Amino acid sequence: MRFGLRSIRFAAASLIGFLVTELILALGLFALYGELTLPSAALRATDLVGLDVLSLTVGVSVSFFVNERMTFRPHDSATAGSRSTRYLKFQAVCWTGNLGIIAIQFLLLATLGVSPVLGELVGTVVTFPVVYLISTRSVWKAYEAR
């Protein structure tokens, strides 16, 4: 039962981080291009990659702190590691998934003209299970679910 509750809380924390990511991405697209869709020339622009990096890094950070607060608690503080160590591990794990998100986003944009906001949603759904499994085993392995 604890595993199920932990999964739900982790998903909720991830959703909060994802919504922050999408908000930053949408606001950035409006600021750069005046709309959520991109001109075809933007496929070669580094603006979108920079915006992805910014939005995903902030979203992952939000997700981490929500998880620290509502999903996991120290089981053994001597083996749990410092918060900054867990934060860096979580960023590293999530960036594995984020590279997949960006690849899917650009693939959908280039082949089907899908908005980066929707492409990021699809990429997140595809990569979430991998990020969940790796992070619960490597970032919070010494923690137990709240």
Q: What is the pLDDT along the chain (146 residues), one digit of tens a residue?
A: 455 888 899 899 999 999 999 999 999 988 888 887 776 655 556 778 889 999 999 999 999 999 988 887 655 444 456 888 889 999 999 999 999 999 999 899 888 888 888 999 999 999 999 998 898 888 877 555 55
Rounded to two decimals, the pTM is 0.82
Q: Can you give the residue range of the structural domain that contains 120?
A: 2-145
Per-residue confidence (pLDDT) for residue 47, from 0 to 100: 79
Q: How many domains in the chain? A: 1
Q: What's the confidence (pLDDT) of residue 24? A: 96
State residue 41's pLDDT score.
58
**d(C-alpha 143, C-alpha 71), whole Å:** 9
**pLDDT for the residue numbered 115:** 86
| Residues contacting 80, CB < 8 A, separation 6+ | 74, 86, 142, 143
The residues near 28 (Cβ < 8 Å, ≥ 6 apart) are 51, 54, 55
State residue 46's pLDDT score: 76
Task: Check residue 17 and give its pLDDT.
Answer: 96
Provide the pLDDT for residue 58: 97
In this prediction, residue 42 carries a pLDDT of: 57
